[in-house]
Amino acid sequence: MPTAPITFSVQSQRTGDSPISALIQQALSTPGLISFAAGLVDEPSLPVTETRDAAAALLSDPRTARAALQYGSTPGYRPLREKVLNLVCTADGITPEAIATTADEVLLTSGSQQLLYLLGEALCNPGDIVITEAPSYFVYHGVLASQGVRVLTVPMDAGGLDLTALEELLLRLEHTGELRKVRLIYTVDYFQNPTGLTLAAERRPQLLALAQRFSTDHRILILEDAAYRELRYGTEDLPSIKRYDTRNAFVIYTSTFSKPCAPGFRTGYALVPRELMQPLCNLKSNHDFGSSNLTQHLLDHLVGSGVYARQAEKVRAVYRKKKDCIVQALEQEFADWPAVQWTNPTGGFYVWLTLPPHLNAGPSGELVKRAVEQGVIYVPGAFAHVPDTFGETVRNNEIRLCFGIATEEQISEGIRRLRAACRGLEQPQAHAKPRECVTT
């Protein structure tokens, strides 16, 4: 007798595989392929000896070792939560009191990813709305789709999220009566994944003011994803949006130790409005009753000893050099093709490349196949846009280039290969009708 089928939930049916996992699989099975796809970090600069020393110190004293090997608490190791709060406030040049926040409102999670997930669970019913940037972090779009949330997007310019467009969207939603469904405005406001763009300084308090203005019947919260903040190349840091949230009421600030330290610790953190803390902990308690206690104790050691600050400084220098390298390679390889444009980020490890509108760099386009033949892969920018109601993406001429893990040699060679993959595609084909670029 054949076995009866497993019945999956509605949520499971809404939950797809990551759009780039097929690409990553291809990269793994193609030796010599240069990957600008997965957002992995630079490996030679990982804090190997630093972590070894911290582990030795932590585990040499049975008292500290046992505390690290026992169960932790759901919100996370308290001393690390205190240090995290101080890190964020120091970066913003304020005291925790200035944003009415204590370590009680700091949550440690399995990467900042888990915070994004938990927050959606806490706030959103199917059919609710989250506003994101266009383009935005595609994994988050996947989370929202899984949770049945409707995503509306707002275009960006060189200064990040376009606040005029956001205001227009909010006014339109107010007019249609859908404003009550808006739960969150999501922004990756430092060296954004995927574009590398940063929200301009003057827009930060303005964004908060917009959220406050439209929070008439219920609160519209801002989810500030500062995952790449520590990777600024320059010395000057921009104030967070959180910094202006003096009553700790509107902004959830989340970041991670993955980028400036090591992803293997799988530890992110968030500063959240007080009323959110208990609901988030209740959910997290059901998920895992707390992320890895051992790695939290290790990080507490690394932060407390000053090693973390030095590590972040070291990593910034690494990515600064890599960014110079990729921009130089792009300038060199694409010098003869001025229609191609790219961002020039001031931090992080993403560059966003815009090809002429006729060129299909999307997952089923010609370029991605040719690129693999040439030995290079990228993330089609289409993945970072929300498809229209027909499932189509209107922008297929964009590319996310991640230079996190590639060496400088690989970066130069990879861009050379990418240019080679484009040969012959520079001009619109007679039979190909160029698509118009439509913004949401």
Angle subtended at Cα 289 by Cα 285 and Cα 293, rounded to the nearest 5 degrees: 150
Is there binding between residue 239 and a copy of itself (CB under 8 A)? no
Told to check if 197 binds a copy of itself by CB under 8 A, we report no
- The nearest distance, CB 412 to a copy of itself, in angstroms, is 22
Show contacts with a copy of itself in window 296-335 (CB under 8 A): 297-298
Question: What's the closest the beta carbon of residue 345 comes to a copy of itself, in angstroms?
Answer: 21
| CB closer to a copy of itself, 59 vs 98 | 59
Q: Among 291, 346, 354, 396, which residue interacts with a copy of itself (rule: CB under 8 A)? A: 291
| Residue 12 burial by Cβ neighbours in a 10 Å radius (0-12, 13-18, 19+) | exposed
Binding a copy of itself (rule: CB under 8 A), the pick from 22, 30, 43, 97 is 43
Q: Is 165 exposed, middle or buried (0-12, 13-18, 19+ CB in 10 A)?
A: middle
Segment near a copy of itself (CB under 8 A), from 197-205, 234-242, 279-287, 388-396? 279-287
Contact region with a copy of itself (CB under 8 A), list: 79-87, 135-143, 330-338, 348-356: 135-143
- Identify which of residues 79 and 142 has a Cβ nearer to a copy of itself in the complex: 142
Q: Which stretch binds a copy of itself (CB under 8 A): 7-15, 94-102, 303-311, 330-338?
A: 7-15
Q: What whole-number distance in Å separates Cα of residue 196 and Cα of residue 76?
A: 31
Exposure class string for 327-342: b at 16+ Cβ within 10 A, else e = bebbeebbeeeeebeb
Integer angstrom CA distances of residue 65 from 69, 79, 200, 375: 6, 15, 44, 46
| Closer to a copy of itself by Cβ: residue 55 or 394 | 55
Residue 304: in which H helix or E strand, if any?
A: helix 293-304
Task: Please identify, using beta-carbon distances, which residue of 104 and 157 lies nearer to a copy of itself.
Answer: 104
For the window 95-134, what string marks contact with a copy of itself as x by the rule CB under 8 A?
--------------xxx-xx--x---xxxxx--x------
What sign for the dihedral angle of Cα 294, 296, 297, 302?
positive
Tokens 């995503």 sit on residue? 151
Nearest to 365, CA basis, from 431, 438, 422:
422
Residue 398, SS3 per DSSP: strand
According to CB under 8 A, which one of 12, 95, 164, 427 is a site residue for a copy of itself? 12
Nearer to a copy of itself (CB atom), residue 21 or residue 429: 21
Strand ranges of the sheet holding 251-256, from the earlier edge strand across to the other edge? 106-109, 268-271, 251-256, 221-225, 182-187, 129-134, 150-157, 160-161
Stretch that binds a copy of itself, among 282-290, 310-318, 346-354, 369-377 (CB under 8 A): 282-290
Q: Any residues with CB less than 8 A from the CB of 328 and at least 6 apart, and which?
A: 412
Candidates 97-105, 227-235, 264-272, 406-414; binding stretch for a copy of itself (CB under 8 A): 264-272
Separation CA 259–CA 318 (nearest Å): 12
Q: At what angle do helices 293-304 and 62-69 cross, to 10 degrees?
A: 130
- Residue 8 to residue 13: CA distance in whole angstroms: 7
Question: 418 with 374: CB under 8 angstroms?
Answer: yes
CA 27-29-31 angle, to 5 degrees, is 80
Q: Does 29 bind a copy of itself (CB under 8 A)?
A: no
The minimum distance between CB 428 and a copy of itself, in angstroms, equals 37
For the CB of residue 370, give the shortest distance to a copy of itself in the complex, in Å. 28
SS3 221: strand
CB of 404 to a copy of itself, least distance (A): 10
What mask, x for binding a copy of itself by CB under 8 A, covers residues 353 to 392? ----------------------------------------
Phi and psi, residue 209, nearest 5°: -60, -40
192, 295, 396, 412: which one binds a copy of itself (CB under 8 A): 295
Cα separation, 437 vs 440, whole angstroms: 10
Which of 37, 72, 161, 340 is close enough to bind a copy of itself by CB under 8 A?
72
Angle between helices 293-304 and 307-333 (to 10 degrees): 90
Binds a copy of itself (CB under 8 A): choice among 33, 34, 51, 162: 51
Number of residues lying near a copy of itself (CB under 8 A):
91
Does 8 participate in binding a copy of itself (rule CB under 8 A)?
yes
Nearer to a copy of itself, 160 or 273 (CB): 273
Q: How far is the CB of 175 from a copy of itself (least distance, A)?
A: 19
Tell me: does residue 293 bind a copy of itself (CB under 8 A).
yes
Inter-residue contact 187 to 223 (CB < 8 Å): yes
- How near is the Cβ of 242 to a copy of itself at its closest, in Å? 16
Question: Is residue 217 near a copy of itself by the rule CB under 8 A?
Answer: yes
Query: What is the smallest separation between the CB atom of 189 and a copy of itself, expressed in angstroms?
Result: 21
